Structure 1
């Protein structure tokens, strides 16, 4: 199996570099993981990182399956996905803004509460990642530009595994750094301002997604 992958390691490496550049750029996924890690716990942040990684894996698999061609043939479907995704991001922003002045609820020593917040953080991150259909265009564009015409299944599996590890790993780094003592203490001191800044960024990203829904 490795012999069938070796000739494709060069293009796969370029694909990972291109996708990594997109992953580290600021966006709704970064805002969500950062806020979860700072406002909840490191475990919540890591759960959110896994949610982001799985969301990216879904988009990568769809891109490899040729979803971009389907969306190009059905522009109305793509427009609807962008509107729904943008509205979801604005809904998140509204709730973050509304709760900005509320004190942070700590799970304390209750393991059941901790598990519930971790599960919620995972679901919230996964849905946030899936709410941005433009990611499938990014993945499809990168794959179209860099993948050879003939691409064996083992090489495709390696790409998907790499996407999961890369996206989860990047957001795990974000979660670990921002859940450390100093960033967390700073957040607790400035919770209202930080939450409203995050809400504004999330809302603007959602508004931009809706406003550009008519474009590909």
Structure 2
């Protein structure tokens, strides 16, 4: 690859930060307070607010998963020297589906009794995870784009950590279809558990290798 085909990563990072910031902000708009019935007393208002708990929970799930994708993106970019047009297009595809998350979160929040709504949200996250992993694998296949001090252990660790959301999203889709769509999204709380276990496993490997 010629140097003319390699691009600085600053603009890619700036665009990514902007899209993530917008998606994170728009997500809260799915909690539409105007849809609350006007309460006649304090007790009615309490129960009306309770009815909004699923929407708040789904927003929280979407918010923290998007944050995890954003952190993963920055970890990847820390290992990148340059980007090229292929990586940029993969990243643009990621950002397209990131921008869809507020919509699919809203869909699930109001129709979580239907499998299709939960599956749409889960498929949205599944695609983001797969595309982000594809971008990382592409970078690692192009040594001229990767920083020289990135060893095989780091490549493997990042690859396995990037599987966490797609794997859980598949579980959610299956559970929503065959068991209960209303409770399927709770499986997304497994993502941080998966990431922590992966990190601990590789920390143990590093200590063992040093000894």
- Pick 1 or 2: higher relative contact order, CA cutoff 8 A, min separation 6: 1
Q: Structures share a fold, TM > 0.5?
A: no
TM-score scaled to structure 2, two decimals? 0.36
TM-score scaled to structure 1, two decimals? 0.36
